[in-house]
A = this chain, B = another copy of it.
Amino acid sequence: MSTLHDVAKRAGVSPMTVSRVVNGSDAVSPKLRARVERALTETGYMPNKLARSLRARRTDTIALLLPDMTNPFFTTLAHGVETAAREAGLTMILANSDEREDEELRLAQLLLERQVDGILVVPAGTGAATIRLCRENDVPFVAVDRRPEGVEADVVRTDSEAGARLLGQLVVGLGHRNTAVLAGPATVPTAADRVAGFRRAIVDEAGLPEPLVLYGAFTIDSGREMAMRALELAPRPTAVFAANNFIAIGTLHALDELGVRVPEDVAVVGFDDLPEAMVTFPFLTVVAQPAFELGRESVALLLHRLANPDGPAREVVLPTRLVIRRSSGSPIDVAALPAD
């Protein structure tokens, strides 16, 4: 591995001149430039970004802290981040908190030690501790997809409340009375928003009975388990709202095991789409979030913050999209329902 000094020696110039050539400064005479360029290729010189970053106090690196890197929603989001980052000349480091707040904090610490220029986080909980850490170290922070609680911070997200309300209205329109929400962790504000939005359509707007609300994790197993429990209760819900894509998949597994048909016996609606591509036979009715755009937009917000350290916190809310497929079924036969 050759250094600037090696190249300089070979070209018979000072390291500074080599540095200028490498960085495209025009204050170098053509003659020396040619000599240096030859030496550069002869030695196969490769700059050491570590040294450069140490000096420049900038690494051109941003971190994306995800709760679950196997969830296609988040990998699509990551793809959006990576694309936008690369366009801006930044490298992305990806880290996986596994939906655990303590792990998220530990990872954030690690990333700060690596002197990343900024951090994008999909908070595993309220995000408060992670935000505080970034603040203390003066590193820009953007919350992605999930609204942090009680702290002012840059946020890029979709309107979970409005999206869930759409699904609630759909369910109401189809004639359902007994509904269930299989929610995420109660500690994640976004999970609460989804419950609230659904409840608003069902109870506040339609005057129907309170939906059954079960809290769990954003995982397939938890979705399966919650669905099992929900279907045993009386009155048995005829419509189930799964608060994210993995919970929806788990729900479908559970219903399959129980021999409950979708949508004939139970209607299912979900939040977060699977990439269209991956849905071999389009099936699940969902409110889809623009995952890739969420990623792009968060990089934009971070760049804005880097250029503008002291501006006010901004919140970007991207629209959701209701995608009606088969799982929500047709209007149910009210006459066939047991009387209240």
Interface residues of A (CB under 8 A from B): 1, 44, 46-51, 53-54, 59, 69-70, 72, 75-76, 78-79, 82, 91-96, 109-110, 112-115, 136-138, 220, 246, 249, 252-253, 256, 274-275, 277-278, 280-281, 283-284
Contact = CB atoms under 8 A, between A and B. Distances in A.
Closest 8 CB pairs of A and B: A49-B113, A94-B94, A220-B277, A49-B114, A50-B54, A75-B75, A50-B115, A252-B280
23 contacts: A44-B137, A46-B113, A47-B113, A48-B113, A50-B50, A50-B53, A50-B54, A50-B59, A51-B54, A69-B82, A70-B72, A70-B75, A70-B76, A70-B79, A79-B96, A82-B94, A82-B95, A82-B96, A91-B114, A94-B94, A249-B277, A256-B281, A274-B278
A69 B79 contact: yes
A159 to B, nearest CB: 25
Contacts of A280: 249, 252-253, 283-284
A91 B110 contact: yes
Given A113-B46, A283-B280, A69 B59 contact: no
Contacts of A70: 72, 75-76, 79, 275
Nearest to A68: B79
A256 B283 CA distance: 14
Contacts of A1: 137-138
Contacts of A283: 280
Contacts of A91: 93, 95, 110, 114
A252 B282 CA distance: 12
